[in-house]
Structures are given as structure tokens and as C-alpha cells.
Amino acid sequence: MKASWVLVLAALGFPAPAPADEPGERFAPPREGRIYHGVYPGGRSGEEEDITREDLAAYEEAAGRKAAWVYFSHNWYAGRAFPVRMAEWIRESGAVPFVRLMLRSNAEQGHAEPVYHVRAILAGTFDEDLRAWARAAKGFGTPLLAEWGTEMNGEWFSWNGKWNGAGETRRFGDPDRPDGPERFAAAFRRIVEITRKEGAANVSWAFHVNASDGPAEDWNRFEEYYPGDDVVDWVGVSAYGAQIPPGDGATPFREAMDACVPRIEKMAPGKRVLVLEFGCTRGCPGVDPGEWGRAALADLLGGRWPTVAGFAWWNEEWENDDLREHDTNMQLQDVPAIRRAFRESFAAHPDRVEERPRFERVPSSGAGD
């Protein structure tokens, strides 16, 4: 790597890439009493892979704060190679790239996956692609965050147990565990183990749950999907308010988090939690997205859940049908009430947000804690 680029990374707060035979550094928790602020800055296609520098700049200007990580999807129907260009400009902005590894054939939800399904992952069909992805992630040289199996306890995604054996217990692995979640856990382990064997110790892995289980069946509890402490670095959560106008109300953020955080802490003692997705749209009668966001930020910045180490607003607008008034819009730059909630909440807690990402040396094994 050229010396000039190493200096640029240093100026941005990133470690210099480690030599090929050394593990390097990874994303670290914030300092005691601090919390990270990240974002999905929103694209135009609804497929979460077309975010731009301008999207990030618009969000950060509206929020009045820089993001510690920037979240985006890597959809394999658009290509399997590590998204190096996207990751590079995010790093140049001073944030850590957070890659949603989306092994799917299209962005439509609520159906079985015909190509990148869990059984194919377990059969090793994509091992070579994953190895190449891991080598490129390692070659990126600085810390990355990643996840596979976003909101796995939600039936809208094809890696949910509903599409992979559901509550059946006799066709895979442990006869005392539901097959659908157990297959997911095994696939998660396979993906992480492949990346680590390729030396991509700079990648920290998140196990990302939805705050509520859907369907609300015992076999579909997010605990059933947990692949083990050794392959999980962070536990992520999605907790939304109103999402589609006109809607029928919104679950308060506190209610959702109070229900799921104790479960996470029991499932994964010692793991730090990141609220990877939260948001609330305008356009729903009886729901003020600014007040919903303000209440959520008051609890996050006020330290209600000490294991929570960061949060990221889902800053997107999308169409739901042909009626403009039914469009979802959670973007700070478009919704003054949400923008005010963020700016005033940050101003009320001036020393609470960890402004820049922090890093730590990777243990020689490269394994999770």
C-alpha cells in the first residue's frame, strides 16, 4: 500500500493495514459511558445497495453528527464479489463499512429462496464464492462489520425457519431443536468459519434479530437461531415504529427493547448490542415520528440498556403503492419533526456519542470473544 494512502487512513482514524501474516485490528466497543451512532443513509431503488456519498452527507447534515458506521446491503443477485468500491468511499468518509451479506435472488420478500437457500449454503455450493469474498475483505485491510441472515426470526426473509424446516425436529441435527432455526445456525457458522479461515479477522460479525418474533411460535424464537458465542461478535436488533402509511399505530421503542434486550442478555451474556435498524415514518394518523424518535433517543442516549453500544436510524423513503400519501418516509432531511428530534437529543447529551469508531487488536485466533 502506498505511504500516502496509509497517511490518509491515519488521518481518518483508521489503523494501517496489517501485514498478511498478522491479524490486524477490528471494530471495538465505545468507551465507557459512550454509544455509537451509525446509519443506513437510504438509496433510491429500495434494494439497499445504491447508497451514495450524497445520501450520507444529507443525513449527517440533518442529524448534525457524523456516523461511526454506514450500513448497506450486498445483494448477491447483483454480484457475489466483495463490494470494495462502496466500502472504500464509506471508509474515506471516516465511517466503518457495515455489510449486510444478502444471499438472495431478488429483493422481494415472503417466499422461499430458489438459489441461495440455507440448504445450498450448508452443502458448500457457495464456499468458493465465500472464500473469494473473505479474501477481498481481508485485502480491504481495515475493520469491517458484517452480517448474514438479517432479522432471521422474521418470516419475510427466506433464511427464516419457516422456509427451511420450521418446527420439524427429525430431519436435521439435534432432535431436540427445531430444524429451521438449527439449519440457519449451522449456515451462519459455516459462513463465519470460512471467512476466518481465509484470514479476514478484520471482519466483525453481527447476529441480527428482529425485536419481535414473526411468527410468534416457540420454534421461531430468536434464541433458537443463535449459532454460538464463538462466531458472534455483536448482537444486532431491529425495532421499528410505524412503517407503512396510513398504518394502525406504532409499537413504542421502549416497549420493544424492554421485551427483547433481557432475552438477548440471557442468550449471549457479555455480548454488546447494536440497534442496527430503527425508524418511524410520517403519514400514520396518531403517530408522530418525531416524538417516537425522540423517546427512542432519550432511552438510547440516557443509557436505559447498558449493553446497547450503538444505534442506526433507517433513513429511507420508498413507495408502497400508487398513492403518494402512502409512501414511507423516515428521512431526517425530509421530515422536520424527526430532524429536530435528532438534533435536540444530541444537543441534550453532548458527551454521550462516540464520535469516531474505535479499534482493537484481533486475538491471534481471530475468533470472537
Question: What band does 247 get if pLDDT is binned at 50, 70 and 90?
Answer: confident
Of 150, 261, 270, the C-alpha closest to 205 is: 150
Contact present, 191 and 130 (Cβ < 8 Å)? yes
Average pLDDT on 192-209 reads: 98
Average pLDDT on 225-254 reads: 95
Q: Is the pLDDT of residue 269 over 70?
A: yes
Residue 209: the pLDDT is 99
Residue 18: the pLDDT is 60
Residue 369: the pLDDT is 47
pLDDT digits (tens, 9 = 90+) for 285-333: 999 999 999 999 999 999 999 999 999 999 999 888 999 889 999 999 9
Question: What band does 133 get if pLDDT is binned at 50, 70 and 90?
Answer: very high
Query: Measured in whole angstroms, how far is the alpha carbon of residue 323 from the centre of its chain?
Result: 30
The whole-angstrom separation of Cα 191 and Cα 188 is 5
Which domains does the chain show, CATH number per domain? 33-361 (3.20.20.80)
User: Distance of CA 218 to CAs 40, 165, 169, 265, Å?
Assistant: 31, 14, 13, 18
Residue 366: the pLDDT is 47
Average pLDDT on 79-96 reads: 98
Residue 367: the pLDDT is 47
Question: What band does 44 get if pLDDT is binned at 50, 70 and 90?
Answer: confident
Place of cell 442529524: 63
264 CB-contact burial (10 Å; exposed 0-12 / middle 13-18 / buried 19+):
buried
Q: What is the mean pLDDT of the chain?
A: 94
Q: Is the pLDDT of residue 42 over 70?
A: yes
Residue 248: the pLDDT is 72
Average pLDDT on 33-62 reads: 94
Contact present, 267 and 307 (Cβ < 8 Å)? no
Global pTM exceeds 0.85: yes
